[in-house]
Amino acid sequence: MNNDERIIMISALQHYAYCPRQFALIHIEQVWAENRYTAEGNLLHERVDSHAAEKRGNTRSERSVLIKSDQYKIKGIMDLLEIENSEPVKYFPVEYKRGKSKIQDWDRIQLCAQALCIEEMRETIVSEGAIWYWESRRRESVKIDSQLRQLTTTIINHAHKLLKTGKTPLPTDNIKRCRACSLKDLCEPETFKKDQTRAYINQLFIDEVNGESLR
């Protein structure tokens, strides 16, 4: 990566994976709006961050850990890092989320990016982490395998490219994602869809006229 590339917050990778337009609205156009989901997420992280570091047996738990990667040009604050005093030392990142486990990899991408930072900073290998979901009140174990690493680095690269272009993409076609997005009113996905439909109909009309003129 070029030295002039901007540093991307690790939390922003989840935005990109969820919807590149959402990522651009927040990190290029600098717009933001709260809804119930974002407010609950903020409250959860405040509770997590308020706990002090602790030690149980051979494992030390550190909260609100600052992490970064010069290689990938990413940085962030990790909710929880569990450090097992073994040989070699084992690092286990834990991310807290307000919702429940998802089929999609949005949350796992964020966790994997944290692992990449730990590996670079501590010169180690992180093979596993976990995501704790508020709604289900349980941890989901996540393997930091080659497939997840490839997906995460791809998202990182695409996010950097989008920042470099400075252009906001069109809305996603997945309406369900729009419903849960706090930026829906600012994004105006329905307006864009109407404009695209109008342009499509106009093009059909032009094609029809041109076709008749050739007869």
Q: What are the tens digits of pLDDT across the range 59-83?
A: 999 999 999 999 999 999 999 999 9
Report helix, strand or coil for 69. Answer: strand
Mean pLDDT of 146-155: 98
Reported as type and span, the H/E element at residue 74 is strand 74-84
Report helix, strand or coil for 83. Answer: strand
The 10s digit of each residue's pLDDT in 122-137 is 999 999 999 999 888 8
pTM, 2 dp:
0.77
**pLDDT value of residue 211:** 52
Percent helix, strand and coil across the chain, each to the nearest 5: 50, 20, 30
Strand pairing category for 54-56 and 59-69: antiparallel
**pLDDT value of residue 160:** 97
Write out the DSSP string of 115-176: HHHHHHHHT----EEEEEETTTTEEEEEE--HHHHHHHHHHHHHHHHHHHHT-PPPPPS-HH
**pLDDT value of residue 46:** 59
> Is pLDDT at 212 greater than 50 in this prediction?
no
> Is residue 134 packed enough to be buried (19+ CB in 10 Å), middle (13-18) or exposed (0-12)?
middle
pLDDT bucket at 120, cuts 50 / 70 / 90: very high
> Is pLDDT at 201 greater than 90 in this prediction?
no
d(CA 133, CA 97): 5
d(CA 18, CA 8): 16
d(CA 58, CA 143): 22
> Is pLDDT at 205 greater than 50 in this prediction?
no
Is 8-167 a CATH 3.90.320 domain?
Answer: yes
d(CA 212, CA 121): 67
